[in-house]
């Protein structure tokens, strides 16, 4: 899978080895990898991200589409400049959590959208494409 993001993905996806994840958990992890790569300047295009991450586009299709439908790659939201996702938030929006915790929560939401556990619940499958 995605060796260049292994450490980050293991932390965000709360696992010791992302390569053994299955189903929705794997989709969540793949979605996080898509957003990480997108934040590095790669186009929000399934095939471009697939090539950069060295993952079959069919494996990325569902998590990528879930993220797209939920607006992660939209022109109205700039993930590349999101201080919370980048871990550059100096203070949290809540007095109950630290900026570091807020960043981890934000990445958990990204994983949740990519996995289908949260966000817009439109069913995505290869049949719908």
Residues 59-107: pLDDT tens digits?
999 999 999 999 999 999 999 999 999 989 888 777 788 888 898 889 9
pTM given for the model:
0.83
Looking at residue 128, what DSSP letter applies? G
20-73 pLDDT, tens digit per residue, is 778 888 888 899 999 999 999 999 999 999 999 999 999 999 999 999 999 999
Q: How many residues does the chain have?
A: 129
CB atoms within 10 A of CB 11: 12
Looking at residue 37, what DSSP letter applies? H
> Which single residue is written with the structure tokens 């990898």?
33
């Amino acid at each position: 899978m995605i060796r260049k993001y292994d450490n980050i993905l293991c932390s965000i996806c709360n696992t010791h080895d992302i390569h053994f994840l299955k189903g929705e958990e794997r989709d969540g992890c793949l979605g996080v990898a898509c957003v990480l790569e997108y934040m590095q300047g790669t186009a929000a295009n399934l095939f471009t991200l697939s090539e950069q991450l060295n993952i079959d586009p069919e494996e990325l299709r569902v998590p990528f589409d879930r993220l797209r439908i939920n607006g992660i790659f939209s022109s109205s939201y700039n993930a590349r400049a999101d201080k919370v996702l980048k871990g550059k938030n100096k203070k949290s929006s809540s007095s109950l959590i630290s900026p570091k915790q807020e960043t981890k929560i934000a990445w958990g939401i990204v994983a949740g959208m990519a996995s289908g556990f949260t966000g817009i619940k439109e069913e995505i499958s290869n049949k719908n494409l």
